[in-house]
């Protein structure tokens, strides 16, 4: 097929350079869009190339013959392509612009003077070929009033003009005040009548509310299927034109979804009468989705609404919720008796209880929990949930159990959940422990918990509920989860837990993570350090784990004697097992305190880049680099510098790392790194090894 292909100004497309008159063939016919093959416009339309080459001014357009093998969106892909010729003149290019889209984009890209011959040629082409009007409206802002009016007359007479294009044209006319309000209203109604489906049309709401009558505006709301757009039109009527408010509200309420209505009513965004509320409930009585009863002006109206609603599994939670919140025990008994016959699992009762608690959170009225009648009705629901014994229902009602804080109910709920093998109830126990509710009952449940559940409870126990921390920590010995290892820090003797962990875990990253947490802890005993080193030596066959640990330790400010010994042992492991030498080299570049690595591997003698950095540091504070002892602990506390000096050194360090590969390798561990990484490495170096700041 003969079509159009776009390339850059050097005749290169997708890394392949083309020549006029040449034929190119791939060694395979197995082509794939955006991967392998020669790409070209699918419909021989130059506008199809805009997605790949949006910069019209720098692109070149070729007339090609391609064997179409694969078709994707606006492109064809083939294994053979022949470059017939280049479209050089504007006239040649416009011959292949079928809809005017390319010409409109050419004008919008700038650089074309309005009075030039090029602009006239492009404009005439758009008017001629753009049957839909969508490309014409894209350039309206560049045209004068007379031209816009002429185009309006032209588009209004064409049967092929899209209604969306006419709406955009009317918006432009309205902004320029070029036609009367009456003409605008008639044109709007004419456009709207031509739109069969409102779902994919962007309506100019401000224009509609300004020019349509209240009845016309309401009729349009009824036609729209999109719930959000309907709400926007209602909101505009409320805030922009009060004369359309009632008609818009009536039209909106006729078919509004209950969820959207509840959102509007809850926020107080519109007013609603009891009669309108009754119509809403009557229309959605089988699935109300919200307790509309609380928007009734009187209790009598609320009861009337409740009598309309069908008493099914979906509506019962909202009916029971209103009974409890309004403290109507008689009505509650009526619906509760119905609940007993249709709720086989207790899930509906659980949902009702959660709805009640949610209402307390929404209206910040927790004092109702102290009300005897309110509390008794809520307890009836929860007792019914426990009676059914369904773990899903009990877990659903968890928030209600926690808020009510009744010891007997919570104890029974935990007992039932505990008896269901394989059922997870982490959240229930964690909330109990966090709020210090029946911690003894929680303790009794720990032997039945999974590692995940234990981990969550332990974290709360050791950070919030200190009273029971020691008892709960005994259960940490059961854990082999790397995510729970921070809990083990609270044990007096973590070695038994670490033993179980190291036997359980095989992933070197988890081993390195856990070991790193302990090695960075200054309070750990030397026995723990020795144990970790022994395990690393046992499991680290390549020196990678020891290297990862040392890499992190190199950026720690201070060390105790046990940590120094541990680091020397880890370095010996790396040196013994790193056959390629890459880990040793990287550690040498990262480390500054040569005392950790032995006299044969001093960093100061290892890389010229690090020497260069340290010489500059010494120069800035008047220190003699040749006599200064970098091997002593806390050497960087020996001198002070100001904030200005530190910032000057930082800028110098970043510049040097960009300019010299040795400095980059010493600072970042690689010769070629990004500017962002250099900046981060410079900040880390100054944070860990910079001189002390002057107070």
pLDDT tens-digit series, residues 141-173: 888 899 989 898 888 888 888 888 888 889 888
DSSP 595-620: GGT-GGG-GGGT-HHHHHHHHHHHHH
In a domain, 591, yes or no: yes
Of 97, 121, 156, the one marking the end of a domain is 97
Domain hosting residue 548, numbered range: 506-605
DSSP class per residue in 442-466: HHHHGGG--HHHHHHHHHHHHHT-G
Contact assessment for residue 515 and residue 536, using Cβ atoms and an 8 Å cutoff: yes
Element (H, E) at 547: helix 544-553
CA angle, residues 444, 446, 448, in degrees to nearest 5: 100
Q: In this predicted structure, what is the pLDDT of residue 86?
A: 92
Q: Give the pLDDT score at 602.
A: 36
595-653 pLDDT tens trace: 344 433 333 333 567 888 888 888 888 888 888 887 777 788 888 898 888 899 999 88
Q: Is residue 567 part of a domain?
A: yes
Q: Which residues contact 212 (CB under 8 A, 6 or more apart)?
A: 185, 188, 189, 220
Residue 265 counted as domain residue: no
Out of 97, 124, 143, a domain closes at 97
pLDDT of residue 127: 92
Buried b vs exposed e over 118-155: b needs ≥16 C-beta within 10 Å?
ebeebbebbbeebebbbbbbbbbeebeeeebeebbeeb
Write down the pLDDT at residue 581.
Answer: 73
The band of 522, judged by pLDDT with boundaries at 50, 70 and 90, is low
β-pair type (640-641, 692-693): parallel
Average pLDDT of the segment spanning 28-46: 79
Q: Are 264 and 238 in contact (CB under 8 A)?
A: no
Q: What are 343-393's pLDDT values in tens digits?
A: 888 888 988 888 888 777 654 455 666 778 888 888 899 899 888 888 888
179 occurs within a structural domain: no
Q: Is it the case that residue 488 has pLDDT exceeding 70?
A: no
Tell me, yes or no, whether 622 and 601 share the same domain.
Answer: no
Task: Say if residue 82's pLDDT is above 90.
Answer: yes
Do 581 and 649 lie in a common domain? no
Average the pLDDT over each of 47-61, 196-210, 396-410, 490-504 and give the range with the smallest value. Answer: 490-504
The answer to whether the beta carbons of residues 309 and 319 sit under 8 Å apart is yes
Per-residue confidence (pLDDT) for residue 597, from 0 to 100: 42
Query: 272-281, 284-293, 598-607, 633-642 — which one is most confidently predicted on average?
Result: 633-642
| DSSP helix, strand, coil percent of the chain (3-state; round to 5) | 65, 5, 30
How far is 74 from 95, CA to CA, in rounded Å?
18
What total of structural domains would you count in the chain?
3
Q: What is the pLDDT of residues 403-441, one digit of tens each?
A: 887 888 888 887 887 776 555 566 777 777 767 777 777
Are residues 581 and 537 part of one domain?
yes
Tokens coding 681: 């490495």
Q: Does residue 287 fall inside a structural domain?
A: no
* Residues 593 and 629 reside in one and the same domain: no
Would you tell me the crossing angle of helices 245-255 and 227-240 to the nearest 10 degrees? 160
Q: Which of 618, 599, 614 has the alpha carbon at shortest distance from 663?
A: 614
What is the C-alpha to C-alpha distance for residues 76 and 46, in angstroms, rounded to an integer?
Answer: 13
Query: What b-and-e string marks burial along 393-417, b requiring 16 or more CB atoms within 10 Å of the CB?
Result: bbbbbbbbbbbbebeebbebbbebb
pTM of the model: 0.48
Please tell me what DSSP assigns to residue 80: E
Name the more confident of 563 and 411: 411
Last residue of a domain, one of 57, 73, 97: 97
Closest CA to 74 of 3, 134, 160, 11: 3
Q: What is the pLDDT of residues 444-468, one digit of tens each?
A: 777 667 666 666 766 666 555 445 5
Tokens standing for 211?
Answer: 């020019």
Does 589 share its domain with 517?
Answer: yes
The verdict on 589 and 622 lying in the same domain is: no
510 and 577 in a single domain? The answer is: yes
Write the DSSP symbol of residue 36. Answer: B
Please indicate, yes or no, whether residues 599 and 649 belong to a single structural domain of this protein.
no
Across 581-601, average pLDDT: 53
Do the domain assignments include residue 90?
A: yes
526/556 same-domain check: yes
* Same domain flag for 559 and 634: no
Q: Where does residue 83 fall: left (phi above 0), alpha (psi -120 to 50 degrees), or beta otherwise?
A: beta
Asked whether residue 535 falls in the same domain as residue 587, the answer is yes
Q: How confident is the model at residue 96 (pLDDT cuts 50, 70, 90)?
A: very high
Exposed / middle / buried, residue 590 (Cβ in 10 Å: 0-12, 13-18, 19+): buried
Q: Are residues 82 and 56 in the same domain?
A: yes
């Amino acid at each position: 097929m003969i079509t159009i292909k776009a390339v850059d100004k050097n005749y290169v497309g997708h890394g392949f350079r083309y020549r006029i008159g040449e034929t190119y063939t791939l060694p395979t016919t197995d082509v794939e869009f955006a991967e392998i093959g020669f790409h070209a416009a699918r419909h021989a339309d130059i506008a199809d190339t805009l997605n790949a080459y949006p910069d019209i001014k720098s692109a070149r357009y070729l007339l090609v013959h391609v064997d179409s093998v694969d078709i994707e969106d606006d492109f064809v892909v083939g294994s053979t392509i022949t470059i017939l010729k280049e479209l050089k003149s504007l006239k040649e290019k416009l011959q292949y612009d079928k809809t005017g889209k390319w010409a409109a984009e050419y004008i919008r890209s700038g650089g074309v003077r309005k009075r030039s011959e090029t602009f006239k040629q492009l404009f005439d082409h758009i008017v001629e070929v753009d049957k839909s009007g969508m490309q014409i409206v894209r350039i309206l802002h560049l045209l004068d009033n007379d031209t816009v009016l002429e185009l309006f007359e032209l588009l209004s007479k064409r049967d092929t003009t899209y209604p969306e294009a006419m709406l955009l044209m009317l918006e432009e006319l309205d902004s320029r005040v070029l036609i009367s309000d009456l003409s605008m209203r008639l044109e709007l109604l004419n456009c709207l009548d031509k739109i069969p489906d409102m779902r994919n049309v962007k309506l100019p709401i401000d224009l509609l509310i300004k020019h349509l009558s209240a009845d016309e505006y309401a009729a349009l709301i009824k036609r729209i299927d999109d719930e959000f757009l309907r709400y926007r039109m209602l909101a505009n009527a409320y805030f922009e034109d009060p004369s359309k408010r009632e008609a818009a509200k009536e039209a909106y309420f006729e078919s509004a979804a209950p969820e959207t209505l509840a959102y509007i009513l809850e926020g107080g965004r519109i007013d609603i009468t009891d009669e309108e509320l009754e119509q809403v409930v009557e229309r959605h009585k089988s699935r109300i989705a919200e307790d509309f009863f609380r928007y009734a002006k009187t209790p009598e109206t609320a009861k009337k609404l409740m009598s309309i609603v069908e008493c099914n599994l979906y509506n019962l939670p909202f009916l029971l919720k209103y009974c409890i919140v309004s403290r109507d025990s008689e009505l509650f008994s009526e619906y509760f008796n119905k609940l007993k016959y249709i709720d086989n699992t207790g899930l509906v009762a659980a949902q009702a209880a959660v709805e009640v608690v949610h209402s307390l959170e929404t209206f910040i009225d927790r004092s109702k929990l102290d009300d005897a009648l309110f509390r008794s009705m809520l307890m009836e629901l929860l007792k019914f949930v426990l009676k059914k014994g369904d773990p899903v229902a009990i877990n659903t009602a968890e928030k209600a159990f926690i808020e009510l804080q009744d010891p007997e109910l919570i104890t029974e709920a935990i007992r039932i959940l505990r008896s269901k093998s394989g059922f997870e109830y982490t959240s229930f126990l964690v909330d109990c422990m966090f709020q210090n509710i029946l911690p003894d009952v929680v303790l009794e449940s720990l032997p039945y918990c999974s590692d995940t559940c234990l981990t969550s409870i332990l974290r709360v126990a050791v950070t919030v509920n200190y009273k029971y921390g020691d008892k709960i920590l005994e259960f940490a010995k059961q854990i082999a989860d790397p995510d729970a290892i921070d809990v083990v820090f609270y044990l007096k003797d973590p070695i038994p837990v670490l033993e179980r962990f190291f036997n359980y875990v095989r992933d070197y990253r988890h081993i390195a993570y856990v070991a790193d947490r302990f090695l960075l802890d200054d309070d750990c005993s030397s026995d723990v350090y020795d144990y970790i080193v022994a395990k690393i030596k046992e499991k680290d066959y390549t020196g990678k784990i020891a290297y990862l640990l040392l890499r992190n330790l190199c950026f720690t400010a201070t060390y105790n004697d046990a940590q120094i010994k541990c680091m020397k042992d880890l370095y010996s492991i790396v040196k013994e097992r790193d056959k390629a030498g890459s880990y040793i080299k990287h550690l040498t570049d990262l480390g500054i305190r040569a005392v950790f690595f032995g006299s044969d591997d001093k960093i100061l003698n290892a890389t010229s880049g690090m020497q260069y950095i340290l010489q500059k540091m010494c120069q800035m504070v008047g220190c003699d680099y040749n006599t200064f002892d970098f091997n002593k602990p806390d050497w960087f506390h020996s001198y002070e510098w100001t904030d200005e000096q530190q910032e000057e050194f930082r800028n110098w360090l970043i510049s040097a790392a960009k300019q010299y590969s040795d400095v980059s390798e010493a600072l970042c561990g690689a010769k070629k790194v990004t500017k962002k990484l250099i900046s981060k490495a410079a900040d880390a170096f100054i944070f860990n090894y910079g001189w002390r700041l002057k107070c």
